Structure 1
Amino acid sequence: MGIEPRLGSKVFYKIGEVSQLTKLPAYVLRFWESEFKFLSPKKSRGNQRLYIRRDIETVLEIKRMLYEEGHTLEGVKRYWARRGRAASRKLTPQELAKKLRGDLQAIVKIIDAHSP
């Protein structure tokens, strides 16, 4: 599974196309949608699943974790839950001030480096 599938320049991919790209049966993709709430492709007016590039990348990551690394469904769910919490974690005022101070110091260094 070392070779990444080539995604075209399309915006949306139907489930059959995603199935071919990921080499997973469509029923597995539908099952994963029911298991992983973060994997929810849009639906067209005709109720067809429309995957975007991020959805396909998520499917490939889940596939890698399950098939190559040997994680269980529950393990993958816990991983994504932790990942989601870490991404949405709010900074304390002190952490935010420290981060902003570091960002401002980096900006000052860039300005100083480009000043005559």
Structure 2
Amino acid sequence: MQEHGEKSPDLDPIPSKRYFTIGEAAELCDLKPHVLRYWEQEFKQIQPIKRNNRRYYQRQDLLLIRQIRSLLYEQGFTITGARQWLTGEVAGDDSARYQQLIRQTINELDDILKILKSHK
């Protein structure tokens, strides 16, 4: 587990399964489970399915969590700033945001490529 402020290592590709427990989600996003629970309170976009008092995350949740992690730990956003960025409330030059979206898309495509190559 990395400390706040360090450059994150490349995260493992997200396996192709429908639901992930909080432990699996935390591991795939290089976070601790209590951080995920806290972020659920701070970022309304994170909405795991809750059944029998357990959380189940889907792929889109993990992608969002990884994006939030990048905003906070790698790009230096505050929670308020990250929340504003995610809701599109940040004023000013959008080029940095588009560059980030392009980087994220490339990373996701790399993940898909790794998964496809591993299934040969």
TM-score calculated relative to the size of structure 1: 0.66
Greater RCO (Cα-Cα under 8 Å, separation 6 or more)? 2
Unaligned runs of 5+ in 2: 1-7, 90-120
- Runs of 4+ displaced beyond 6 Å: none
For residues 11-69 of structure 1, give each alpha carbon's deviation from its aligned partner in whole angstroms, at most 9, with x where no partner exists.
0000000111111010000000000011111112x121110000000000000000000
1:75 aligned partner: 81
CA contact (8 A) 2:11 2:28 kept: no
TM-score (norm 2): 0.64
The 5 Å alignment of 1:56-75 reads 56-75=62-81
Correspondence for 1:24: 31
Which protein is richer in helix relative to its size? 1
Counterpart in 1 of 2:108? none
Q: What residue is the counterpart of 1:87 in the other structure?
A: none
1:42 corresponds to 2:46: no
Root-mean-square deviation (Å): 1.3
> Identity, % of aligned pairs?
35
Q: Distance in 2 between matches of 1:68 and 1:42?
A: 28
Q: How big is the shift at 1:4?
A: 2.9
